[in-house]
Amino acid sequence: MENIRKIIHIDMDAFYASVEQRDNPRLRGRPVIVGGDPAGRGVVAACSYEARKFGVHSAMPSSRAKRLCPEAIFIHPRFDVYQQVSQQIMEIFHEYTDLVEPLSLDEAFLDVTCNKKGIASATETARRLRAEIRKNTSLTASAGVSYNKFLAKAASDYRKPDGLTVITPEQAQGFIDQLPIGKFFGVGKVTEQKMRSLGITCGAELRQVPQERLVRLFGKMGLFFHSIAHGIDERPVTPDRIRKSLGREITLHEDIDDMDAIFALLSELADSVGSLLKEEGLKGRTVVLKLKYHDFQSITRSITLDHRLDNAEEILDKALLLLKETEAGTRKVRLLGITVSNFELPGDGPPRPYQLLLPFCDVTEQKEKTGAYSPSMLQP
């Protein structure tokens, strides 16, 4: 028994949309969509449960969401506000345990096996966490409680919104067996299709597949699928994950080959990555450009510099340089992403010097071009 961990996964309910409804009473009870302008090419970043009833979901083009739900209220995201609320929630978590692993602004794993409040029951801990989040932020969260990350996350998803689901070791296999294959950790759209074409539609069926076969079909992930199908997931909750890279990407609702539009999007991405780097106080030596062509072929191009950077302009410069090594412009593109990595890590010994650049003062007249594209196109 002593080896059984107590893991909680907390997931805020329709986070961005709920924050908007909280701050603006007129939005309450109405379909709210946070994201890009439906007249433009933006996408849905988040939507309220009222909007979900119409079939609206995140990452969907805003224009399509508008067609599905004409009375929806579209709102531009206010990331600074979400960030603040997220900070508040993380602080609550840290009152209970330092083993907090944030997955995004509105989602985290907590290992409460030994918690600061000395609460024996993980279910009780989750109940209190949810109550405190509601009290401090007026927002609701769903929680999943189990003995590993996979089950905790699957559990929090089970009864949304405002739900609390506990999966005990005794219940685990039954829960896994009925779980649709798409809900398994690491199974995205493509893998799900592949699984279904192999006749694997739920946990029970996944469990029947021999390990070797899964490895043959899915490589390393096959091993992992085999384990979680049997309720085994040893991944620890790692607090303050050392960030190895920081990036942003955007899926376009319409495949594009217009270089001006691509430039504008990269410029937005670079701005966004640059300010995130500055926020986190990180500088990286490697800039990676990711591109997905219309046929879903995904490529990356990277450049490693002899100095670390965090400013948007330089990131954009390098991204444009890398863009030349792609077929953008001739082949249509459906996704663009910029990532900066190769940070200075705490274990790297004394700080390495970096080279300063000459202060040429030129106006980048190309900046104006980006006006037509709103930052809301960037998916959170």
Partner 1 sequence: MKCKIQKTLLQNMLAKVQGFTEKKSTLPILSHILLEISGDSLQVKATDLHTSIQVNSPCEVIQTGACAINGKSFYDIIRELPEQMVEFWVDDGSHAHIIAENNRIKMNVMDAQEYPMVEFMDMDHGYSVDLSIMKPMIERTIFSIPSSSESDSKYTLGGVLLTSGRDETGKGYIEMVSTDTRRLSVVRYYTGEHIDMGGGIIVPRKGLQELKRLMDNKEEGSRVLLTRDSIFYTSPDTLATVRLIDGKFPDYQSVVSPEAFPITTRINAQELHSVLKVCAAMVSDISNCVRFSFHKDRTIVFASNPDQGEVETPIPSVLHGDELDINFNPRYFMDCLSFIEGETEIHLKGSQGPCMITDSGITESKWVIMPMRF
Three-state DSSP class for 297?
A: coil
Element (H, E) at 101: strand 100-104
| By CB under 8 A, residue 259 contacts partner 1 | no
State the nearest-atom distance from the C-beta of 271 to partner 1, in Å. Answer: 16
Cross-strand bridge partners of residue 251 = 335
Binding residue (CB under 8 A) for partner 1 from 120, 190, 242, 356: 356
The least distance separating partner 1 from the CB of residue 189, rounded to whole angstroms, comes to 34
Q: One of 107, 212, 268, 344 is an active-site residue; which one?
A: 107
For partner 1, which stretch binds (CB under 8 A), given 20-28, 106-114, 288-296, 347-355?
347-355
Buried b (16+ CB within 10 A) or exposed e, 276-315: bbeeeebbbbbbbbbbbbeeeeeeebeeeeeebbbbbebb
Per-residue contact track with partner 1, 209 to 228, x per CB under 8 A? Answer: --------------------
Q: Is residue 345 at the binding interface for partner 1, with CB under 8 A as the rule?
A: no
Q: Mask of contacts with partner 1, 280-319, x by CB under 8 A?
A: -----------------------x-x-----------xx-
Q: Tell me which DSSP letter residue 26 carries.
A: G
CB of 277 to partner 1, least distance (A): 17
CA dihedral of 247, 250, 256, 262, whole degrees rounded to 10 = -40
Q: Binding to partner 1 by residue 354, rule CB under 8 A?
A: yes
The least distance separating partner 1 from the CB of residue 278, rounded to whole angstroms, comes to 16
- Report the C-alpha gap between 370 and 102 in whole angstroms: 32
Does 59 sit near partner 1 (CB under 8 A)? no
Cα distances from 115 to residues 63, 86, 118, 141, 269, in angstroms, run: 46, 21, 5, 20, 39
Residue that has been written with the tokens 């249509």 in this structure: 332
Report the site for partner 1 in 322-341 (rule: CB under 8 A).
324
26 vs 324 by CB, closer to partner 1: 324
Site for partner 1 contains 347 (CB under 8 A): no
Helix (H) or strand (E) holding 340: strand 333-343
Q: Per CB under 8 A, does 278 bind partner 1?
A: no
The question of whether 249 is a catalytic residue gets the answer: no
Distance between CA atoms of residues 222 and 207, nearest Å: 11
Half-sphere exposure of 225 (CA within 13 A, CB side): 33
Tell whether the torsion through CA atoms of 95, 19, 145 and 126 is positive or negative: positive
Binding piece for partner 1, criterion CB under 8 A, among 41-49, 65-73, 166-174, 344-352 = 344-352
Residue 177 in contact with partner 1, rule: CB under 8 A: no
Least separation in angstroms between residue 7's CB and partner 1 is 41
Compute how many other C-beta atoms are within 10 angstroms of the C-beta atom of residue 187.
Answer: 21
Chain residues in the site for partner 1 (CB under 8 A): 303, 305, 317-318, 320-321, 324, 349-362, 364
Just list the catalytic residues. 107
